[in-house]
Amino acid sequence: MNEIIKKQDQELRNIIYKVPALITLFVASQVAEGHLVPTEERTVKVYLSILSNQAYEELQDYFQEVKNTFDNDIGTLNEELPKDTKQRKEKIEQLLEPVKTFLSQLPSSLGVVFKDALLGFVSHARDVRQDTLASVILPFISDDLRKIENERLRRILN
């Protein structure tokens, strides 16, 4: 995967490697206080460790790279992104916009497994905040998307 990413311009490469951190921060923004809690971060790191060793073989190099930079990326992004929840979510969406195009240009089989792996970050961060994020993962898997209230999250990687 890293070979495909290296062919992209520098700005896109930087964002692609920060997608797991951005998704994690977006999920954290779904609650009123909007900050990342240690258990949430720890859960996501466990998932990242699993992916870096057991993901689809062509993705392992990507997740190993992300694992090496995740702590720094999430800390930096958390400081740089707006503190206001609405503005933070909008900025994250804006940053992820070119990634959607990148995902759509991948060979279909690789694109599907890569997207599924990235969506796992939503699921793992959500597990810590089940009470307020019960429907976060649904926009990505539901056949009846019209019933999903959070249209913004549905668009993140679609």
Domain range list for the chain: 2-155
pLDDT score, position 61: 92
Q: pTM for the complete prediction?
A: 0.76
pLDDT score, position 155: 53
Average pLDDT over all residues of the chain = 76
pLDDT score, position 140: 40
pLDDT per position as a tens digit, 109-135: 888 888 888 887 777 666 555 533 444
pLDDT per position as a tens digit, 10-44: 999 999 999 999 988 888 777 645 566 666 677 77
| 3 state SS for the chain | CHHHHHCCCHHHHHHHHHHHHHHHHHHHCCCCCCCCCHHHHHHHHHHHHHHHHHCCHHHHHHHHHHHHHHHHHHHHHHHHCCCCHHHHHHHHHHHHHHHHHHHHHCCHHHHHHHHHHHHHHHHHHHHHCCCCCCCCCHHHHCCCHHHCCCHHHHHCCC
